[in-house]
Structure 1
Amino acid sequence: MSFHQPHHRQKIPVIRHHVAGGTEHGGGIGRLVSYVLATDGGRLRHSVCDTRGSKWRPLGSSFRLVAAMMAMALSASATVQHLHIAGRGSTLRKLILGCWANMLGRPYVLHLHDYDYAADLDRRPAWQQRAIGRLFTRAAQVIVLGQRDAATVTCRLGVDPSRVVVLRNCVPDPGRRQRQGSAGTRILFLGRLSARKGVPELVEALARPELRDKPWTAVLAGDGEVDETRRALARLGLSDKVRLPGWVDAAAAQKLRDESDILVLPSHAEGFAMSVLEGLAQGMAVVTTRVGAHDEVLEDEVNCLLVPPGDVTALAAALRRLIDDEGLRSRLGQAARRLYETDFSMTRYLHRLEALDAKAIPQPPLFGKLP
């Protein structure tokens, strides 16, 4: 990425992003960080440290953590550790890194990405909850995806509200879809094939009598319970209408969006889903659920259709409306694209992220205040 080059004696601060799996295997978080690195116009330098590796193995995980700790120890004082945190093992890894940063006197920012962090806290013993509270209260800044998570970190973990900032995920502008006309409506799901993502309900909805004989085809792209989903489709007689390509990379995902009319994500829990945002960016008609920060951004019947999580009947009805009504698909897709253009500029996101990280730098950069 490019950035403003200050006087040669001024050292450009570095933001080190700690992501389990890095940008290649870090899921939605890794994808977001890869977008940050690829966006022009930043005034800080960004680097990535993989805290887990591509596969969960105790030895490999320990090695990654030690490498991250060594990198932190060797970093200059103007380096901010940007810890991307979710529940489960991610929190344990960040507890270690946060403790190490405090011992070294290195400032860190916590960036919470989780579909239900309050529930994750509830499952932990009291001593872990106290340790997590210290991790969050000692952070220079805490970034969250929506108001639900803001309430969790302030009310449950005791973080000063003045140090909590809501920053929505963003994606680079992919341009408008180049969908070519063809017979039938194309439905697309992008994400892990799992119960949390609502895949069993989606399969059941597609098999409903009111949808079965409609002119549609679907692609359910992602890893996870691929074989189980394939068996369910075969049992319901949908194998000829639904394709399961497995995990796809970013380029293939964009091509699938270009070729599709409807993006559906009937999740039971999300933070703010990247696949929904990418569907909005490409002007697709989006069907998703009122979970996480979706309700804070999306408007039912205006720029998407929102259905209750787990409600097969409502999901089938929403899909049927879009299959039957090309005008509705077009209206929602245009509104989705306008929402993206208005609120989700990747350059603006980068500037806001850098401004938050810059607040954590003990001696602010000499080249002036960030936007």
Structure 2
Amino acid sequence: MLGPNPDEKGGMGKVSKLIRENVAESIEIQYISTWNGKDANRLTNFAQALMAFLWQLIGGKVDLVHIHISERGSVLRKSIIILISLAYQKPIILHTHGAEFTQFHEELPKPIKRAVNWMFQQCNYVIALSESWKQFYIKNCHLAPDRVIRMYNPVTIPSRIPNRSSSHPLKFVFLGKITPRKGIDDLLNAFASLPIDQQNQVQIVLAGTGEEEAAKQLAKQLGIENHVKFPGWIDEKQRDDLLSQAQAFLLPSYQEGLPMALLEAMSWELPCITTPVGGIPEVITDQETGLLVEPGNVQKLACAMQTLIENESLRLRIGKASREKAKDLDIKRYCVFLSDIYEQSAKKYDRNEMAVKNTISH
């Protein structure tokens, strides 16, 4: 398995880590980090990854290659991995994650786009994070429908959920990269538009790294800095502690694959205010398992916040429904299905290899 550093601050790192921690004991995963999350050491890290990968291949220790990919530089790095895997005739599973892959793919020059499509076509299976992403890869990368498998991201389901009745003050939480793409400016502007008495009932927690200083400056300009906390990037325990203390989750993104932070919030029985982008509308049904607002619609975002502030019974009902939906994405179920894909890929490769040998012998 090849992907980002396990401690990488994003969904790819979380998914790969969950798989390795929960996969069947009959499957041995050797994980190689192709990127450590730091631009300064990117080339060195990738060169080391290539050497480690080649060493495994030469030693005959590889039965299947599972590659996590996003967009831009990730596509270049993983294309090299795909070519090497093909040279060694190893079955390949390409696990796509890129929230911005549509724009990246659209802007590629035609010869490079054809090359990227060809790379995708050489893989035994391409895993897409949602049905909408599956259809994108089929249509735009010209993949056979039976080669693209929709697999929503997995999540660990907490065994116990706190009682959130009569909570005060309310804690509305965001987890992820603090950037305009995630709707941070919209979130702050929406909260600032609420009546003062409602603002006083809520603490906004923006946990993550990125453009923190710009967000802090905007909060100050809007006069809401006393209501907004920036704890920085938090580890898994801190994340779980924060989600257990929260009453709602906010993610007004403009682009997404299927965000792990959203699924984690759902597993903690939180009502989520988010946008119908990427795979989100396939797990969030408006007014049932969450509240959906169009990206950039600050007024409706403010109304959604206001609704959850005023209506405790709705908060609790949507939270319970979101947790029930998240149970369908339990990592244990996910790994059973993934094990089947591994087995099918290996068998398909064995059949293809046997067919080639029979052709040569005749």
Query: Do both proteins adopt the same fold according to a TM-score greater than 0.5, normalized to the shorter chain?
Result: yes
The aligned counterpart of 2:355 is: none
Query: Structure 1 CA distance, aligned partners of 2:59 and 2:126?
Result: 21
The aligned counterpart of 1:198 is: 183
Query: Structure 1 CA distance, aligned partners of 2:235 and 2:330?
Result: 22
1:52–1:60 contact (8 Å) kept in structure 2: no
1:258–1:282 contact (8 Å) kept in structure 2: yes
2:244–2:268 contact (8 Å) kept in structure 1: yes
The aligned counterpart of 2:354 is: none
1:2-17 to 2 correspondences below 5 Å: 17=1
The aligned counterpart of 1:25 is: 8
Query: Structure 1 CA distance, aligned partners of 2:160 and 2:48?
Result: 39
Alignment of 1:286 onto 2:269: no
The aligned counterpart of 1:300 is: 286
Report how many residues are paired. Answer: 346
Deviation at 1:75? 5.1
Q: Which runs of 5+ in 1 are unaligned?
A: 1-16, 365-371
Query: Structure 2 CA distance, aligned partners of 1:229 and 1:55?
Result: 22
The DSSP-based 3-state class of the residue aligned with 1:220 is strand
Match of 1:79 among 37, 41, 63: 63
Query: Structure 1 CA distance, aligned partners of 2:43 and 2:281?
Result: 41
Distance 1:34 1:62, change over 3 A: closer
Identify which range, 206-215 or 284-293, moves more after superposition.
Answer: 206-215
2:205–2:229 contact (8 Å) kept in structure 1: yes
Match of 2:112 among 107, 112, 128: 128
2:10–2:176 contact (8 Å) kept in structure 1: no
Match of 1:59 among 43, 67, 90: 43
Query: Structure 2 CA distance, aligned partners of 1:219 and 1:75?
Result: 49
Distance 1:190 1:159, change over 3 A: same
Query: Structure 2 CA distance, aligned partners of 1:26 and 1:247?
Result: 8
- Find runs of 4+ consecutive structure 1 residues off by over 4 angstroms: 179-182
2:94 alignment partner AA: L
1:148-167 to 2 correspondences below 5 Å: 148-167=132-151
Query: Structure 1 CA distance, aligned partners of 2:248 and 2:275?
Result: 14
Superposition CA RMSD, Å: 1.8
Distance 1:249 1:71, change over 3 A: farther
1:98-117 to 2 correspondences below 5 Å: 98-117=82-101
Q: Deviations over 1:66-91 (max 9, x none)?
A: 23442452353652110111111110
2:71–2:98 contact (8 Å) kept in structure 1: yes
Query: Structure 2 CA distance, aligned partners of 1:23 and 1:97?
Result: 18
Distance 1:298 1:59, change over 3 A: closer
Query: Structure 1 CA distance, aligned partners of 2:350 and 2:59?
Result: 15
> Identity over aligned residues, as a percent?
28
Distance 1:320 1:176, change over 3 A: farther
The aligned counterpart of 1:368 is: none
Q: Which runs of 5+ in 2 are unaligned?
A: 352-362
The DSSP-based 3-state class of the residue aligned with 2:159 is coil
Alignment of 1:168 onto 2:152: yes
Query: Structure 2 CA distance, aligned partners of 1:40 and 1:77?
Result: 18
The DSSP-based 3-state class of the residue aligned with 1:219 is strand
2:339 alignment partner AA: E
Query: Structure 1 CA distance, aligned partners of 2:46 and 2:317?
Result: 50
The aligned counterpart of 2:76 is: 92
> Between Structure 1 and Structure 2, which shows a larger proportion of helix residues?
2
1:190 alignment partner AA: L
The aligned counterpart of 1:233 is: 219
Identify which range, 50-59 or 243-252, moves more after superposition.
Answer: 50-59
TM-score by length of 2: 0.91
The DSSP-based 3-state class of the residue aligned with 1:264 is strand
1:137–1:159 contact (8 Å) kept in structure 2: yes
Distance 1:111 1:75, change over 3 A: farther
Query: Structure 1 CA distance, aligned partners of 2:15 and 2:111?
Result: 32
Alignment of 1:336 onto 2:319: no
The aligned counterpart of 1:9 is: none
Match of 2:172 among 184, 187, 190: 187
Identify which range, 255-264 or 102-111, moves more after superposition.
Answer: 102-111
Deviation at 1:347? 1.0
Deviation at 1:269? 0.6
Distance 1:75 1:346, change over 3 A: farther
Distance 1:72 1:117, change over 3 A: farther
1:177–1:257 contact (8 Å) kept in structure 2: no
2:194–2:306 contact (8 Å) kept in structure 1: no
1:258 alignment partner AA: S
Match of 2:312 among 317, 320, 326: 326
